[in-house]
Structure 1
Amino acid sequence: MASTACHIYRRSMLALRCASLHSGRIFCLPSSSPFRGVKMASSAASALKTSSPKIITLKPIEATPESFAAFGQVVSASPDGEEYGPRDAQLELHRGVPRFYIMHLEDRELKFSNITHHASVTQCLGSVGGEEWYLGVAKASILNGSDFSSKDGREPIQSPCGHYYMPPHPDDVHVFRISGPKFLKLNVGTWHAGPLFKKKKMDFYNLELSNTNVVDHTTYYFREIDDVVFVIKE
């Protein structure tokens, strides 16, 4: 059921938003759930906002192993024959069949209002040819039953994929610039927006699971919930 719900969520967000308006602000959870009565992050009022959003300008940070450590890894070239070690991508691919493919993307301008995470897999992204690109990120915020606590008035949300998470705060969003022959490995649950780039079109290699985009794709909508849009400026 969780897989089906997640698929419907991605394919028909309009229907989900309508459903949330009719269902009010409270999740319908089993009585055994530790999150019984948890409020939704959005409300009918926020979903129906018509005013211009607040623009948050983000200056990109150059992605290095040190600067990106809170979100994952930056992996660069290593000498042929070097044995496996901590500088290699530390992958979690055991929950399904790995999928390695090339994505063709077009018209990904340097702004975003949605951010996504995957709860069951590390994801690796890199540009074909080492061309410059950008990625918006926030730290993973997936919850276990013992992790529950309200922060800054924000309450846990249950993803249609089944798990719970704390909504990312706009102040916790950063943007990284990735240039040259390197790729990013995102930790499980790391929020990300992109790839974004200045060119008309680019190709990216992507390592995830075969069904990540069907059963493990949770998106948070800053525009609808927080009334903000992020713009990247050097």
Structure 2
Amino acid sequence: MLALNLSYLPTFTRFPSRRLSPFASSRAQMEVASAREVKLKAIEATPESFAPFGQVISSSPDGDEFGPHDAQLDLSRGIPRFYIMRLEDRKLKFSTITHHASVTQCLGSIGGGDWYLGVSKGSILEDETESGTPQGCKTVKKSACGHYYSPPKPDDVCVFRISGPKFLKLNKGTWHAGPLFQTKAMDFYNLELSNTNVVDHTTHNFRKDDGVIFIIED
């Protein structure tokens, strides 16, 4: 039998290790350890309390005509997608928050169980110039989706509790984290565009950029 001598092969032909370097691992641990927990008291979502971020839509009698209390939707930039999504293990804490620049979004729980949503006002900008930023904001970023925005501030974040048979309509650009809930799993209906999660998904990381993790108190 012919014996092959492979000792001449250079060592760099071996597959490189995928493990994090000690420095990278230590840095990741430091980021987690240094994050400050901020507790937020949940506010009951009503048409008045949620108005800066969107609408709260409750049941109405059959036959009512369309009016200002109905969801004011903008689905004009693509194909609408209405579906039921199942979420699991979404505990009452978050460190990232997302906005959609091209569509309003509607969310509601199947069965009317209690759930929670962290929000901050939309901060989409017309262009990159500082003169176009909201008052008090100095940082301007360009999303991978192509638009400009000012990152949300930790002090501007609040949390809403949604109870009973109602749903939320989020204004275009409203920052949101959730749905979150206390049970093991929940089903939600979701109205957005068919490609929202692919081409219109801008996220801010509070843990990384601000050293903050939010904890929801009910």
TM superposition score category, shorter chain reference: 0.7 to 0.9
1:206 — aligned with what? 190
2:55 — aligned with what? 73
2:153 — aligned with what? 169
CA distance in 2 between partners of 1:57 and 1:100 (Å): 33
CA drift of 1:174 comes to 0.4
CA drift of 1:148 comes to 2.6
| Aligned ranges 1:78-93 → 2 under 5 Å | 78-93=60-75
2:200 — aligned with what? 216
2:76 corresponds, among 76, 94, 112, to: 94
Q: Give the total of aligned pairs.
A: 190
CA distance in 1 between partners of 2:48 and 2:137 (Å): 31
| Aligned ranges 1:178-193 → 2 under 5 Å | 178-193=162-177
Contact 1:148 1:156 (C-alpha < 8 Å) held by counterparts = no
CA drift of 1:49 comes to 3.5
- Coordinate RMSD, CA, aligned: 2.0
Q: In the alignment, does 2:125 pair up with 1:127?
A: no
* Structure with the greater alpha carbon radius of gyration: 2
| Structure 2, unpaired ranges of 5+ | 1-26
Q: Summarize deviations over 1:182-203 as a string: whole Å, max 9, x none.
A: 0000000000000000000000
After TM superposition, the score normalised by the length of structure 2 is 0.83
1:19 — aligned with what? none
Contact 2:71 2:169 (C-alpha < 8 Å) held by counterparts = yes
Quick one: which amino acid aligns to residue 65 of structure 1?
A: P
2:123 corresponds, among 141, 159, 164, to: 141
Q: In the alignment, does 2:92 pair up with 1:106?
A: no
Runs of 4+ in 1 over 3 A off after TM superposition: 48-51, 149-154
Contact 1:113 1:223 (C-alpha < 8 Å) held by counterparts = yes
CA shift in 2, pair 1:153/1:192, >3 Å: closer
| Aligned ranges 1:154-165 → 2 under 5 Å | 154-165=138-149
Secondary structure, aligned partner of 1:184? strand
Quick one: which amino acid aligns to residue 113 of structure 1?
A: S
Q: Summarize deviations over 1:35-72 as a string: whole Å, max 9, x none.
A: xxxxxxxxxx99x7354211100000000000000000
Contact 2:94 2:213 (C-alpha < 8 Å) held by counterparts = yes
How much identity, in percent, do the aligned residues show? 68
Q: Summarize deviations over 1:104-134 as a string: whole Å, max 9, x none.
A: 0000000000000000000000000011000
CA distance in 1 between partners of 2:175 and 2:133 (Å): 19
| Structure 1, unpaired ranges of 5+ | 1-44
CA shift in 2, pair 1:232/1:211, >3 Å: same
CA distance in 1 between partners of 2:164 and 2:175 (Å): 23
Secondary structure, aligned partner of 2:47? coil
2:97 — aligned with what? 115
CA drift of 1:149 comes to 3.8
